[in-house]
Amino acid sequence: MDLAKLLRPAALDGLERQARDRARVRDPAPDRRAARRRRADRRQRRARPQRDARGRTRSRSADHRGQRHRVPGLRADGRRAHRRGLDRRRQLRRHPGRAARTDGHAARRRPARRLQPARRARDVSGRRARRRLAAVAGAAALAALAGCGGGEQPVRTLDPPAHRGVAVDIVFGTPASAELAEVDAAAELGADAIRVAVQWAGMEPLRAGELADWYVQRLDGLVARARRAGLQVLLTPVFTPCWAVDAAGGAPCASPAAAQQVQTTHPRDPADYARFAGRLARRYGDALAGLEVWNEPNLPGFWAPQDAARDYVRLVRATRQELLRVAPRLPLVAGALAGGDAPFLEQLYGEGLADEIDVLSVHAYNDGRPPERGLPARFARAAFRQGLLAVKGVVERRDAGRTVWVTEIGWNTSTQRGELFNDGVGEAEQAAYLGRALARLQAPGTALGFPESVFVYRLRDPRQAPADPQQNYGLIAADGRRKPAFAAVRRAFAARRG
131 and 221 together in one domain: no
Q: Is 276 a domain residue?
A: yes
Task: Determine the pLDDT at residue 377.
Answer: 86
Contact 135/158 with Cβ under 8 angstroms? no
> Max CA-CA distance within the chain?
133
Domain boundary among 64, 81, 98: 81
- CA angle (73, 78, 83) in 5-degree steps: 30
Q: Is 159 a domain residue?
A: no
Phi, psi of 58 (to 5 degrees): -105, 145
Contact 179/233 with Cβ under 8 angstroms? no
Report which DSSP code applies to 302.
Answer: T
Residue span of the structural domain in which 142 resides? 3-25+115-147
DSSP result, 312-368:
HHHHHHHHHHHHHHH-TTSPEEEEEEES--HHHHHHHHHTTGGGT-SEEEEEEE-TT
Give the pairing type, strands 50-51 and 57-58. antiparallel
317 and 225 together in one domain: yes
282 and 373 together in one domain: yes
Task: Determine the pLDDT at residue 157.
Answer: 56
Q: Is 104 a domain residue?
A: no
Q: Is 296 a domain residue?
A: yes
Task: Determine the pLDDT at residue 114.
Answer: 37
For the chain, which residues score pLDDT lower than 50? 1-26, 59-72, 86, 97-155, 248-249
pLDDT tens digits along 376-409 = 888 898 999 999 999 999 999 999 999 999 999 9
Query: What angle do the packed helices 129-147 and 13-23 form, to 10 degrees?
Result: 170
- In 411-493 the beta strands, taken as DSSP E runs, fall at 453-456
143 and 178 together in one domain: no
Burial 250-284 (b: 16+ CB within 10 A, else e): eebbeeeeebeebbbbbbeebbbbbbbbbbbbeeb
In whole angstroms, give the CA distance from residue 40 to residue 45: 9
pLDDT tens digits along 404-425 = 999 999 999 999 998 878 899 9
Beta-bridged to residue 334, according to DSSP, are 360
383 and 491 together in one domain: yes
142 and 291 together in one domain: no
141 and 256 together in one domain: no
In whole angstroms, give the CA distance from residue 251 to residue 242: 9
308 and 382 together in one domain: yes
In whole angstroms, give the CA distance from residue 65 to residue 137: 58
Torsion of the alpha carbons at 195, 198, 199 and 201, rounded to the nearest 10: -160
Q: Is 48 a domain residue?
A: yes
Q: Is 91 a domain residue?
A: no
Q: Is 90 a domain residue?
A: no
187 and 123 together in one domain: no
Per this entry, what is the length of the chain?
498
- Report CA Rg, the chain: 40
Task: Determine the pLDDT at residue 309.
Answer: 96
- pTM of structure: 0.70
402 and 439 together in one domain: yes
Give the pairing type, strands 50-51 and 453-456. unpaired
Contact 15/129 with Cβ under 8 angstroms? yes
241 and 269 together in one domain: yes
CATH number of domain containing 232:
3.20.20.80
Q: How many domains does the chain have?
A: 3
21 and 34 together in one domain: no
Q: Is 88 a domain residue?
A: no
Task: Determine the pLDDT at residue 373.
Answer: 94
Beta-bridged to residue 476, according to DSSP, are 460, 482
Task: Determine the pLDDT at residue 392.
Answer: 97
Nearest CA to 366 out of 415, 418, 416, 420 is that of 420
pLDDT tens digits along 105-147 = 444 444 443 333 333 333 333 433 433 444 444 444 444 444 4
Contact 444/460 with Cβ under 8 angstroms? no
